[in-house]
Chains A and B, each alone.
Chain A
Amino acid sequence: MTTTGQPPMVMTDSAVSFGDGRAVAVRCSGVTKTYGSGNAAVRALRGIDLNVHRGELLMLVGPSGCGKTTLISVVAGVLDRDEGECEVLGSDLDRLGSGERSRFRARNIGFVFQSFNLIPTLSIAENVAVPLLIQGEGRKQAVDRAKEILTKVGLGERTNSPPTKLSGGQQQRVAIARALVHRPKLIVCDEPTSALDHATGQKVMELLREVAAGDEMSLVVVTHDQRIFEFADRIAEMDDGRIVTIRRGMGHTLSTDPKAHAPKSSQTSETTA
C-alpha cells in the first residue's frame, strides 16, 4: 500500500500532465543513482522519469529511504546522477563545471530545508539577504530587498531579530523568504512542514503556494505530511527508487489567485491528463 492508501501503480510522468501547454522546468528521464558499491551498494534511484512544469507545485511522497531526497538533490544540482538525463531550466547540470553549477544554483534555485538552516549569528534580514550576497549584490541593496520580502511573508517587524528568537513557523517563513528573495525559477523544499504543527504547516504551505503561483515559480516539495497534499498540483509517489504513481492534487484546480487557495480535504486521483 502507498502512503495515500492506494495500490501502487507504475505510471509515466506524461500520463498525468497539464493540458495547458505550460513549459517544462525540470525534465528527468531514466535517472539512476547508486550509493556505495559491491555488496554495500544501495540503488537510491532506479530510472526516474519526471517532468516539473513552470508554475507547478509538485510533491514527492513516499516512505523513508524511497529516494525522494536523492531525487531533489539531483534536480537541485547538489548531487550527480549516475545515468539518465536531467535538464533543469534548459541546462543539464551534470555537464556544467563546479563553478558554473554553483552560479546556476545561486541564480535559479531556492532552497527550503526541513530544519530551516538559518545562520543563528545573522539577523533574519541578513539570512534572507544571503542568496543576493552570494550573487555579489551590495549588502545594503540585498538587505533592503530582504526586508521587502520579509514584509511580504509577515515578518517585516522582526527583520533585525536573530532566528533563534522566532518560533518554528516564523523561522520557516524566513527560510521561504530566503528561497524567494533572488526570484529563482525553481524552489526545492525538503519536508518544509515536518517540524511544524498542523496550523503553522498549513500557513507555510499557503505562503509557498501563493508565491509559486504568483511568480510562475516551480516548486518540488518532498514531504511525508499528508495534511499538506491538498496544496499540490501533482503528487508523485515514490517507492524503492521509482515513481510508482503520479496523480493530480487539488492545487491544479485552483486559480492562481492566492485568495482562492483554500485548503481542500482530499485530492483527486487521476491517471490521465
Chain B
Amino acid sequence: MIRVAMRMLVGDPAKFFGILLGVTLASMVITQQGSIFVGLMSRTFATIKEMAQPDIWVMDPKVQYIDDVKPLQSTALQRVRGVEGVDWAVPLYKGMIRVRLPSGQFVNCNLYGLDDASLIGAPKDLLDGRVEDLRQDGAVIVDEAGAVGRLARRSADGTTRPLAMGDELELNDHRGRVVGVARVSRTFQSQPNLYTLYSRATRFVPGERKLMSFVLVRAKAGVDVDRVCAAIERETGLAAYTKPEFQNLTVAYFLKNTGIPINFGIAVALGFLVGAIITGFMFYSFTLDNLRYFGTLKAMGTSDGTLLGMILLQAGYVAVMGFGLGVGLAALFGNSMGKSQLAFRLTWQLSLVAACAVAMICALAALLSVRRVISLEPGVVFK
C-alpha cells in the first residue's frame, strides 16, 4: 500500500508541487532568515572568537558587551598577572579611530592594539605580510573587507583598487603604513579593522587617563578556567569571563536591547505561517480530491491504521522533500551571497529547527486529512 499511497500523492503533479511549494517555502524562509539572524548574532562576538589564544577576558564589571568598552587603569594588568592560576595576561586596546583617506573622506575603523611583545590577538589568517612586521614604524594590518571596501583607494579617474602593502593611512593625524592584509570575520558594525601594537594604538587615539580596554588572560595548563575567573574577580574587583561566557554576554545584550530578534522572529513566524497555510490547504484539498478513493479502499477492507499510515507517509514524503529543497535553496542563497556583506550562517541546529517546523506543518496538514479520512463512513462509496 506504500506504493499506492505514493502514486496517489505524485500522480497529480499540480497538487503535488503545490504541497511541495508550501513546505519548501516554509523551510527556505525559516532557514534563510534564521541563518541571517544567526550570522548577525555571530558577528557580535566575532572579535572574541577570532582571538584564539586567551581563554579569559578581564574587563570593567560594568561592561555589557564587546563594544561597550570601559577603560581600565594600566595597573589592572599587573594585578591580574598576580592572580594564582594565571599563565599570562596581556593588554588589549579596542576602540574607534577615524581614518582620513587621500580623497579627504573619513572612515571610522575599529582599532585593536595588541601586546607589543607577544602580539597576542593578532589575526591568524594573513593574506599578505607577516604579523611580526607590526613592529615596524607606523605599521598596521588591515582586514581584507576593509581593504577592498571602505578603505580602497580611489584614483582621479574614479577607479578603485584595494588598499595594499605599503599604502599609507592617516590615523587621527598619525601616519600609518599597511604591512599586512588579514582575513577576519566581519563584526556587527562591519567597519574596517586595523591591528597595530598596543603602545602605538594608544598614541594614535586621543590621550585619556585610562586606555586599556581588556586584559587577555590564559590560565595555566590543568587549572580550571572558571576557578581562575573567580579568583581574578575576587582579587581585582574586575569582571572576568571565559570566552564562551563573554560571547553569551554579548549576544544576550543584542538580543535584549535591539529589535533584531523580533524582526527576524516575525519573518520566521511568517514563513512558518504561510508555509503551514499553503501546505495545510493543498494537502487537505488533495485528501478531499481523493476522498472517494480513500472511501473505496476503506470499503474494500483497508484498515484505519493502514489509511493513517498512507496519509502519514504522504505527509512525511513532502516534509522530507520540502525540507531538503528549502534548506538547499537557502544554502544556495547563502553561498551566492558569500562575497557580500550579508551575514549568513547556516548551522546544523538551524537545520534541525527548520526540520522540526516542517515536521510540525506536515503533521498539522496530515492531522486535518487523517480526521477526515478516519471519520469517513465506508458506505459513502455507494452514495
Interface residues of A (CB under 8 A from B): 69, 72-73, 76, 78-79, 98-99, 102-107, 109, 111, 113, 117, 119-122, 126, 130-131, 133-135, 139, 190
A105–B11 Cα distance when bound, in Å, is 27
Contact A105 B12 (CB under 8 A): no
Interface pairs (30), CB distance under 8 Å = A72-B382, A73-B379, A78-B298, A78-B379, A98-B303, A99-B304, A102-B301, A102-B304, A105-B299, A105-B300, A106-B302, A111-B299, A113-B296, A117-B293, A119-B7, A119-B8, A119-B293, A119-B296, A120-B11, A121-B12, A122-B4, A122-B8, A126-B3, A130-B4, A130-B297, A131-B301, A133-B1, A134-B306, A135-B301, A139-B3
Contact A111 B11 (CB under 8 A): no
Chain A binding site: helix, strand, loop or mixed by DSSP? helix
Which of A78, A102, A104 is within 8 Å of B302, CB to CB?
A102
Q: CB-CB < 8 A to B383: which residues of A?
A: 69
Which of B10, B296, B379 is within 8 Å of A117, CB to CB?
B296
A134–B296 Cα distance when bound, in Å, is 12
Q: Mark B285-301, 1 if CB is under 8 A from A, else 0.
A: 00000001100111111
A99–B302 Cα distance when bound, in Å, is 9
Contact B299 A104 (CB under 8 A): no
Chain B binding site: helix, strand, loop or mixed by DSSP? helix
Which of B7, B301, B303, B306 is within 8 Å of A121, CB to CB?
B7
Q: CB-CB < 8 A to A73: which residues of B?
A: 379, 382
Q: CB-CB < 8 A to B4: which residues of A?
A: 119, 122, 126, 130, 133
Q: CB-CB < 8 A to A133: which residues of B?
A: 1, 4
Q: CB-CB < 8 A to B293: which residues of A?
A: 117, 119
List B residues 278-331 near A (Cβ within 8 Å).
292-293, 296-306
A79–B1 Cα distance when bound, in Å, is 24
Interface membership of B82, Cβ < 8 A: no
Instruction: State whether A78 and B299 are in contact (beta carbons under 8 Å apart), knowing that A69-B382, A69-B383, A72-B382 are contacts in the complex.
Output: yes
Q: CB-CB < 8 A to A111: which residues of B?
A: 296, 299-300, 381
The 4 closest A-B pairs by CB, nearest first: A121-B11, A106-B301, A78-B378, A105-B301
Contact B297 A134 (CB under 8 A): yes
Residue of B nearest to A188 (CB): B382
Interface membership of B245, Cβ < 8 A: no
Which of B12, B296, B301 is within 8 Å of A103, CB to CB?
B301
A76–B301 Cα distance when bound, in Å, is 11
Interface membership of B377, Cβ < 8 A: yes
Q: CB-CB < 8 A to B11: which residues of A?
A: 120-122
A104–B12 Cα distance when bound, in Å, is 32
Contact B381 A113 (CB under 8 A): yes
Which residue, B292, B293, B383, has most C-beta atoms of chain A within 10 A? B293
A144–B327 Cα distance when bound, in Å, is 41
Residue of B nearest to A99 (CB): B303
Residue of A nearest to B383 (CB): A69
Q: CB-CB < 8 A to A122: which residues of B?
A: 4, 7-8, 11
Interface residues of B (CB under 8 A from A): 1, 3-4, 7-8, 10-12, 292-293, 296-306, 377-379, 381-383
A65–B304 Cα distance when bound, in Å, is 30
Which residue, B11, B296, B300, B302, has most C-beta atoms of chain A within 10 A? B300
Contact B379 A107 (CB under 8 A): no
CB distance from A108 to the nearest CB of B (A): 9
Contact A98 B301 (CB under 8 A): no
Instruction: State whether A78 and B381 are in contact (beta carbons under 8 Å apart), knowing that A102-B301, A105-B299, A111-B296 are contacts in the complex.
Output: yes
A105–B302 Cα distance when bound, in Å, is 9
CB distance from A184 to the nearest CB of B (A): 10
CB distance from A35 to the nearest CB of B (A): 11
Instruction: State whether A107 and B3 are in contact (beta carbons under 8 Å apart), knowing that A78-B378, A78-B381, A190-B382 are contacts in the complex.
Output: no
Q: CB-CB < 8 A to A98: which residues of B?
A: 303-304
A124–B257 Cα distance when bound, in Å, is 64
CB distance from B328 to the nearest CB of A (A): 27
CB distance from B83 to the nearest CB of A (A): 73
Q: CB-CB < 8 A to B302: which residues of A?
A: 102, 106, 134
Contact B297 A79 (CB under 8 A): no
Q: CB-CB < 8 A to A119: which residues of B?
A: 4, 7-8, 293, 296
Contact A106 B300 (CB under 8 A): yes
A111–B301 Cα distance when bound, in Å, is 10
Instruction: State whether A102 and B382 are in contact (beta carbons under 8 Å apart), knowing that A120-B11, A121-B8 are contacts in the complex.
Output: no
A69–B383 Cα distance when bound, in Å, is 8
Q: CB-CB < 8 A to A78: which residues of B?
A: 298-299, 377-379, 381-382
Q: CB-CB < 8 A to A104: which residues of B?
A: 301
Residue of A nearest to B10 (CB): A121
CB distance from B291 to the nearest CB of A (A): 11
A113–B303 Cα distance when bound, in Å, is 20
A135–B297 Cα distance when bound, in Å, is 12
Contact A79 B377 (CB under 8 A): yes
Which of B1, B296, B303, B379 is within 8 Å of A102, CB to CB?
B303
Q: CB-CB < 8 A to B381: which residues of A?
A: 78, 111, 113, 117
A119–B11 Cα distance when bound, in Å, is 10
Q: CB-CB < 8 A to A107: which residues of B?
A: 301
A135–B306 Cα distance when bound, in Å, is 11
A106–B304 Cα distance when bound, in Å, is 13
CB distance from B69 to the nearest CB of A (A): 66
Residue of A nearest to B304 (CB): A98
A264–B383 Cα distance when bound, in Å, is 31
